[in-house]
Amino acid sequence: MSQAACTVEVSDLIKAFRVNGQPLRVLDGVNLRADRGTFVTLIGPSGCGKSTLLNIVAGLQHPDQGQILFDGVATGDRLGRVGLMPQRDLLLPWRTVLGNALLGPELHGEDPEAARRDALSLLPLFGLQGFADSYPAALSGGMRQRAALLRTFLCRQGVLLLDEPFGALDALSRSGLQEWLLRVWQQFGYTVLFITHDVEEALFLSDRVYVLTERPARVCLELDVPLSRPRERAITLLPEFALLKQQVLAALAGTCPDETGRPR
């Protein structure tokens, strides 16, 4: 039933748009790699093209140059191959929590009864027990976000693309959801590409962090996070964590040496 998690590679990705008739390069040779079952975060200034990158990996947009490889194989048609979760929860307002969660299985023609049982059994893990028949309008922001994540998880695609899923939430709900996301992710073992603006969130969650430059985006820092799992909130107070944070912040401030040697 569940698609096995796979390794995702992005190779020399270039993408330009035409804005008011002027070509605008958004991605300028981005390379990155998320090994099977790892949690990889992209962090970069607003508007640097992170969402474009995820849309390309999801197959919604086509790169001008470069490739997306799943388990080492260049994959052209990626629609339906990944679970994408955009910034807004985009729950269908006329469907209940359960109906929204079952969207993936329904689109893929899975057995509705089995999918339903499956989804119901996951509601407690997603903190939605007792809300199966509630409409999205009746949920809090955090619950809506978890319902959207449940929908994404139930696509069973092995690769999750999460575009600032907690961006719109307050700091407290956010930190609770980060810990919760780690638990859920460890249970499912999916490969995750995660986008955020928040350095601490990036380091706390990830096995590896990529820092992107301003537009046109390139990778200016690739940083492995050697902190053991499962992780507690307290690790954010360790000196190692502070050192990693310093590196990312320095890269974001544009002080890291430019690998390609091109002028910035």
Partner 1 sequence: MNSTTQQKRSADPRRLWSAYAPPAALLVLFILAWQCATWLWQIESYLLPSPADVLRAGVEARGLLSNHVQQTLRETLLGFGLALLVGVVLAVTIDLSAFLRKALYPLLVISQTVPIMTLAPLLVIWLGYTIWPKIIVVALMCFFPIVVTTVDGLSSADPEMLALLQSMGATRRQVFRIVRVPGAIPALFSGIRIAVTYSVVGAIIGEWVGASQGLGVFMLRAANSFRTDWVFVAIALCSLLSILLFTVVSVAERLALPWYYTSTRAERWEEIEGEA
The residue ranges that bind partner 1 (CB under 8 A) are 55, 58-60, 79-84, 86, 88, 90, 92-95, 103-104, 106-108, 130-131, 133-138, 140, 155
What does the block give as tokens for 74? 């260049």
C-alpha to C-alpha distance for 166 and 164, rounded to whole angstroms: 5
Cβ of residue 103: shortest distance to partner 1, in angstroms? 7
Minimum Å distance from CB 100 to partner 1?
11
Nearer to partner 1, 29 or 127 (CB): 127
Q: What is the smallest separation between the CB atom of 17 and partner 1, expressed in angstroms? A: 16
Instruction: Name the residue nearer to partner 1 (CB basis): 84 or 221.
Output: 84
CB of 148 to partner 1, least distance (A): 9
Dihedral sign of CA atoms 121, 127, 130, 131 in order? negative
Task: Give the pairing type, strands 219-224 and 208-212.
Answer: antiparallel
Which CB atom, from 112 or from 254, has the smaller least distance to partner 1?
Answer: 112
Beta carbon of residue 21, minimum distance to partner 1 (angstroms, whole number)? 22
- State the Cα torsion 60-64-69-70 to the nearest 10°: 10
- Name residue, tokens 């590196």: 247
Q: CA torsion, points 245, 231, 235, 244, in degrees to nearest 10? A: -20
- Nearer to partner 1 (CB atom), residue 137 or residue 234: 137
How far apart (Å, rounded) are the C-alpha atoms in residues 248 and 203? 9
Question: In the sheet that 73-74 helps form, which strands lie side by side, from edge to edge?
Answer: 22-34, 8-19, 65-70, 73-74
Nearer to partner 1, 143 or 211 (CB): 143
| Nearer to partner 1 among residue 137 and residue 253 (C-beta) | 137
127 class by beta-carbon count within 10 Å (0-12 exposed, 13-18 middle, 19+ buried): middle
Asked if residue 194 lies in contact with residue 229, where contact means CB atoms within 8 angstroms, the answer is no
How many Cα atoms within 13 Å fall on the side-chain side of residue 89? Answer: 24
Smallest distance from partner 1 to CB 57, Å: 10
Query: Is the CB of 37 or the CB of 104 nearer to partner 1?
Result: 104
The CB-of-48 to partner 1 minimum distance in angstroms stands at 19
